[in-house]
Amino acid sequence: MILVISQIKEKNMKHIIYISIIFSMMVAPVLAQTKSHLCNLFKINGSTYPATSITLKDNATQLAIEDKIIANIPTQHPQDEIPITLDGKAIYCVAGTLTADLVKEAASTGQFIIYGSINHNDRNYIRSYTNGAKSIKFINIDGEQVTSLQQILYESEASSVTFENCNFSKVWTLLNAFSYMSNLTSFSFKGMGLTNKLTELRFMFFTCKKLESVDFCNCDFSSVNNLYSMFSNCSALKSIDFSGCNLTSVSSTGNMFNSCSALESIDFSNCDFSNVTTKQYYMFAGCKALKEIKAIGCNKATIAFLNDRLSDAGLTEQVKLIVE
């Protein structure tokens, strides 16, 4: 890869480098040999790459990946300038090379970013040593070796968690994945790369007391069977929309919204709870602000199930169940 870099500017506390790019070799083969290290992330046309250093000199620019000089080119002024954004420090790793000390060092900066391939043991390091980070980002993660994200950020102090172009296609459980994240205000499934391998969302956001919104991004939940206490004690949650989700395999919804005291509306349109064959206690217990549940396009068994759960919570008169 040859990079021709024209200038560097300060803008909104981030460095913007304008470049013209000629690809004579792919970055990936170089990265495949890399071990865990802290690096700078930079983006070209929306794609993210790690670099150990980007150095401007008088008439030339050096860009190094894993301490190998990829570019050392005289400054020019190309016609087609492409912006590159340097986005802070990140950990770049191949599966099995992550260390506890490296995770601690990265998290201590306040913004923990991880890029590359991770396995089950790497997940344990992330779970154990990211406390202190206020922002956590997973970027271009190859998680093919990861089958569980259980407690991945349990009790994390982070207020922001984002996933960008990740592959967690083998993950089957998110049990307690974000439980007790006391500062988390919103969450999006976008970019996680989950598939119908996913079966369990128990306690996923349990006691996230500042959580206000969740974007499911039309996730494939067709194999999910357990939603027990998924949002229990999320006392700031105001509305939730499951209308784009396939919930046909769900068999457990007990305590799902227990003590969601600010929750006003739920959209279950086109959802199917006909496979829930046992009584699900406390699904809406303590939802004292709940005003409406949309069940448009739902079958009779699902509507009857929702009516029963509202009755259990003493909310039949208070909540409007919209079926058409």
Residue 218 belongs to some domain of the structure: no
Q: Supply the pLDDT for residue 52.
A: 66
Residue 308 predicted with pLDDT over 70: yes
Give the long-range contacts of residues 240-244, CB within 8 A, separation 24 or more: 240/213, 240/214, 240/265, 240/266, 240/267, 241/216, 241/266, 241/267, 242/216, 242/266, 242/267, 242/268, 242/271, 243/267, 243/268, 243/269, 243/270, 243/271, 243/294, 244/216, 244/217, 244/218, 244/219
Question: 254-303: per-residue pLDDT in tens?
Answer: 999 999 999 999 999 999 999 997 888 899 999 999 999 999 999 999 99
For the chain, give the mean pLDDT: 83
Residue length of the chain: 324
Give CA–CA dist 68/63, Å, rounded.
8
Q: In the structure, what pLDDT confidence band is assigned to residue 220 with cuts at 50, 70 and 90? A: confident
Residue 146 belongs to some domain of the structure: no
CB atoms within 10 A of CB 253: 23
Residue 224 belongs to some domain of the structure: no
C-beta of residue 139 within 8 angstroms of C-beta of residue 117: no
Residue 8 belongs to some domain of the structure: yes
3-state secondary structure the chain: CEEEEEEEEEECCEEEEEEEEECCCCCHHHHCCCCCEEEEEEEECCEEEEECEEEECCCEEEEEECCEEEEEEECCCCCCCEEEEEEEEEEEECCCCCCHHHHHHHHCCCEEEEEEECCHHHHHHHHHHCCCCCEEEEEEEECCCCCECCCCCCCCCCCEEEEECCECCCCCECCCCCCCCCCCCEEECCCCCCCCCCCECCCCCCCCCCCCEEECCCCCCCCCCECCCCCCCCCCCCEEECCCCCCCCCCECCCCCCCCCCCCEEECCCCCCCCCCCCCCCCCCCCCCCCEEECCCCCHHHHHHHHHHHHHCCCCCCCEEECC
Taking the whole predicted model, whether its pTM rises above 0.85 is answered as no
Residue 133 belongs to some domain of the structure: no
Residue 225 predicted with pLDDT over 50: yes
What's the number of domains the chain is made of? Answer: 1
Residue 22 predicted with pLDDT over 80: no
Residue 12 predicted with pLDDT over 50: no
Range of the domain at 77: 2-86
Residue 257 belongs to some domain of the structure: no
Provide the percentage of residues in the chain whose pLDDT is more than 70.
Answer: 77
Q: Supply the pLDDT for residue 84.
A: 60
Give the mean model confidence (pLDDT) for residues 156-176.
96
Residue 63 belongs to some domain of the structure: yes
Residue 321 belongs to some domain of the structure: no
Question: 63-117: per-residue pLDDT in tens?
Answer: 555 555 554 444 454 444 445 666 678 898 999 999 999 999 999 989 999 999 9
Provide the percentage of residues in the chain whose pLDDT is more than 90.
Answer: 65
Give the mean model confidence (pLDDT) for residues 1-26.
40
